[in-house]
Structure 1
């Protein structure tokens, strides 16, 4: 099983966009690597349409999408064509999926990433999400049951939070969104902690010695982490 803050397990695979080597081919970009139980299923269809609809929005934060199921390449192609030609979700029509979808018939990659959960099924991957940073390090892991569709806005929020914490050396509290106050790391000495508690550190407010926050406006964050999505996607 992969673990947080360790290198993402490497593999090569055939996808709907050609052969890839992961994570090397994605170096320099964040990646949302996710699995779904099966093609031609309703929940998965709604998820793929949502991911495809938001692809440029993810790319604006230097993030690429990569999908996987244990279906064949030909099954993937047929399903994605059907999505474009026939499906409608939330008023979206003619949705084209441009990001790669991995063929994993032998379940080798799915097993390597712990996407096969016997309690949910032995022959289908659960709805797993792995967020990998530009250095190929695994930063977030999420698992969903087969019956529950993912919240893509939450996945994007996590990416923004990770990039903000990396860029500004802070932490983010519960339900944080860009523009809200961020958490300042615990003081390294009693003297600094005392100065914070007495309000002597500019911009820092403390409820107690271990809980201090500061303002970090959304514009500052956006200037630091936002990218041109066309450059990220290369199209």
Structure 2
């Protein structure tokens, strides 16, 4: 894999709004390059290791809901330190045991170079025990949201879908997503920045807390 010299001494973490670092590496579907996924959404997520109980439940759940991500024009890409052949063996076991095939790419990162570039692990770490990070990357390659779970806690697939729905809806409507928002519920209008509109509002909150249209997937 080739991360390029520009990631030497990379910072320990990325922030929302940063461009996702590009990389090219081997995966279970062949060589992949992150920038080849531009023009559609991408969820890049890491897992501590193959053949582990929590990771296995996550991958089975994601495989069973892969169509839900595809309907949202969102690709999935997984990453771990295990070798390509370990990935193959794990996917074969999952297929035989759970009757699901995982067709999204799982990238190998045995030297932790990708994990370090993304801040998933520190350059000083000797293993990937803390790695369970998720990056929601928009069609322009910008990181729009991130989550990080401990190694002993599995992700919520419904929450991954809710996050994706929310990001797509607020982009489409130029709006805000309130607490516990789900697809089809009202969004919020950004607050006015005009003092006359503040004084003219019908009540004390109407100038900054207003419903917009209902978020719908395009």
- State the TM-score, normalizing by the size of structure 2: 0.88
- Give the aligned CA root-mean-square deviation in angstroms: 1.9
The CA deviation at 1:126 is 1.2
Runs of at least 5 residues in structure 2 that lack an aligned partner in the other structure? 1-12
Mapping of 1:33-52 within 5 angstroms? 33-52=44-63
Q: How does 1:115-130 map to 2 (within 5 A)?
A: 115-116=120-121, 122-124=126-128, 126-130=131-135
Deviation at 1:208, TM superposition (A): 4.5
Query: Is the 1:27–1:136 contact (alpha carbons within 8 Å) kept by the matching residues of 2?
Result: yes
Deviates more, 1:174-183 or 1:141-150: 174-183
Bigger CA drift: 151-160 or 121-130? Answer: 121-130
Query: After the TM superposition, which residues 68-107 of structure 1 pair with which residues of structure 2 at under 5 Å, given as runs?
Result: 68-86=79-97, 93-107=98-112
Partner residue in 2 for 1:2: 14
Task: Provide the C-alpha distance between the structure 2 equivalents of 1:16 and 1:145, rounded to a whole number of angstroms.
Answer: 25
2:41 is aligned to 30
Q: Which 4+ runs in 1 deviate beyond 6 A?
A: none
Structure 1 unaligned blocks of 5 or more:
87-92, 200-205, 225-235
Q: 1:54 aligns with which of 45, 62, 65?
A: 65
Deviation at 1:74, TM superposition (A): 0.4
Count of residues in Structure 1 that have an aligned counterpart in Structure 2? 205
In the alignment, the residues of structure 2 paired with residue 122 and residue 116 of structure 1 have an alpha-carbon distance, to the nearest angstrom, of: 9
Q: How does 1:1-235 map to 2 (within 5 A)?
A: 1-22=13-34, 24-86=35-97, 93-116=98-121, 122-124=126-128, 126-195=131-200, 197-198=201-202, 207-214=205-212, 216-217=213-214, 221-222=216-217, 224=218
Greater share of strand:
1
Per the alignment, residue 227 of structure 1 pairs with: none
CA distance in 2, matches of 1:30, 1:19: 19
